[in-house]
Amino acid sequence: MWTRRGPALDAIDRHRRRLTAGVVAATVLMSSGAMVIFPLLPTLQSQLDISTADIGFVAAAGFAASLAAELLVAPFADRGRARTMGVAGVVLMTAALLGSAMATESWHLIAGRALGGLGLGVFMAAASALLVRADPARAGEALGRLGAAELAGIALGPLASGLAIAFASPAAILAWSGAVVLIGVAPVLLAFRERTDPDAAAAGQAAGAAEARAAGGGSAAASVDPAARPPRVSFDLLRSPMVVGVLLLYGAVMVPTGAYDGIWPRFMADIGASEWLTALSYTLFAVPFALVAGWAGRLADRRGGVSAYVRGAVVLVPIVALYGVIGNPWVATGVGFVESSGQALAFIGAAAAMAQAVPAARAGASQGLMRAFGLLTATIAAALSGIAYESGGPLVLFGGTAIVVVVIAAAGLLVIRSARRRARADAAASVAASEVDTAGIAASLDDRVPAPASDETIACPAVP
């Protein structure tokens, strides 16, 4: 049976489609710009005399700068600055690529990577906040599309630079990449807008609140007043144990990203991969993520973000450990194809869990805080990755990474389980107190109101 949608929901759909299209286009350009340098690192290492440890610092600089942006700038996405942040992110990424093209020493690359990380962090904070608020009831699906766009860029950027290195210098590739990323200003200016229709906003907020309660995030969401003007920082969200648990989940899945994003080209070269195969491995890794992301988001909306995360972690952890004993580049590429599906479920599950735990009015701050913590773990992992690889090879790097993921994820799940138990206990106590109050009021009324006359009394009144 067909049911007619109201004008408020139609307005939500129109706004969401327009925003999603702009976010996807700009995100592909931004993430491709952020990743274009990695296949070039072996060549840059030879040209600039960079050590393997320095490569780890190049990756860490980007993560650290994104961390600062997500932590300090992301709350401004909840204060009407999302569009400005989107434009600033694109401009910073362009400047980073142009600066890296002129690098002559390792610290130049580190500085360029830091500037690009700052731009990416500012942009992603704005994009995720707008997507969550566009339709809170479908936040998981929207964040899944954002993740798919990000992975599409991760596929295109390294593939393009890996193929171009055969006939162009790294400097030329980085300069042209900066020019391409600058095109991203157009979709940001056209699509990065808050929904302004009050009826649509009310409908979306109501649907999002109902979805959060169904997913078990109501207790966390209730800890923040969505009607109040959002604070300039996001640390107040840490009062919610549910938020703390989700931070640990996201931080765990970011450890592999930091541990071997920068080392991956070196690892592939050491086991016999050519530059074009290394570029292809990035592309193939991104394909399953892009295909699974929409389904993963819908699963998170339907079953809860934590449930989707656990399914992804079960796939991810064994794959990470397996890299430590792989000696064939084609096998490593194929295993990465499988790993991508697990990462899609884990990343999108954690993002959806945060959206379900915090009101949509704080989406920028909460998503930024989550990514900031993830970038913190990735920064530490990236800084140590070169040292771990030089000292113990693939087994120490990948095996140690898998162990760290298990420990942090287990801690997060324990915190979430405790928070849910406490929420259920508080809800039961509240219901019991309400029943007691109702019974007391009823008893008080019984004492005050005289008993009605019986049928017998009415039929046969007393005779004086």
Worst-scoring range by mean pLDDT, 105-109, 164-168, 458-462? 458-462
* Residue partners of 39: CB distance under 8 A and separation at least 6: 158, 161, 162, 165, 265, 275, 278, 279, 282
The pair of structure tokens assigned to 202 is: 């009310």
Per-residue model confidence as pLDDT tens digits over 306-363: 989 999 999 999 998 999 888 888 998 888 888 888 888 898 899 888 888 888 778 7
CA distance 19 to 167: 38
> Quick count: other Cβ atoms within 10 Å of Cβ 403?
13
Higher pLDDT, 69 or 7: 69
The model's pTM is 0.71
| Calpha distance 49→59 (Å, rounded) | 17
Contact 223, 239 (CB under 8 A): yes
Closest of 120, 138, 143 to residue 348, by C-alpha: 143
Alpha carbon distance 391, 223 (integer Å)? 46
The span from the CA of 397 to the CA of 69, in Å, is 28
Confidence band, pLDDT 50/70/90 cuts, at residue 223 = very low
Mean pLDDT (whole number) for 224-243: 67
Residue pair 76/374 in contact by the 8 Å Cβ criterion:
no
Instruction: Tell me the CA distances in angstroms from 382 to 258, 260, 289, 293, 401, one per residue in order.
Output: 5, 7, 22, 25, 11
Residue 440 has pLDDT above 70, yes or no: no
Mean pLDDT, range 56-69, rounded to an integer: 79
pLDDT at 153: 87
pLDDT level of residue 414 (50, 70, 90 thresholds): very high
| Structure confidence at residue 387 (pLDDT) | 83
pLDDT bracket for residue 462 (50, 70, 90) = very low
Highest mean pLDDT among 103-107, 169-173, 431-435: 169-173
Cα pseudo-dihedral 343, 344, 345, 351, rounded to 10: 100
pLDDT score for 403 = 93
Q: Give the residue-averaged pLDDT of 391-401.
A: 88
**Residue 453 clears pLDDT 60, i.e. is over it:** no
Give pLDDT tens digits for 352-391.
Answer: 888 888 887 787 778 888 888 887 888 788 878 888 888 8
Residue 144: what pLDDT? 82
Summarize pLDDT for 41-52 with one digit per residue, the tens: 878 877 887 777
Is 224 a residue whose pLDDT tops 50? no
pLDDT band with cut points at 50, 70 and 90 for residue 156: confident
Q: pLDDT class for 246, splitting at 50, 70, 90?
A: very high
| Greatest C-alpha distance within the chain | 120
Does position 410 have pLDDT exceeding 50, yes or no? yes
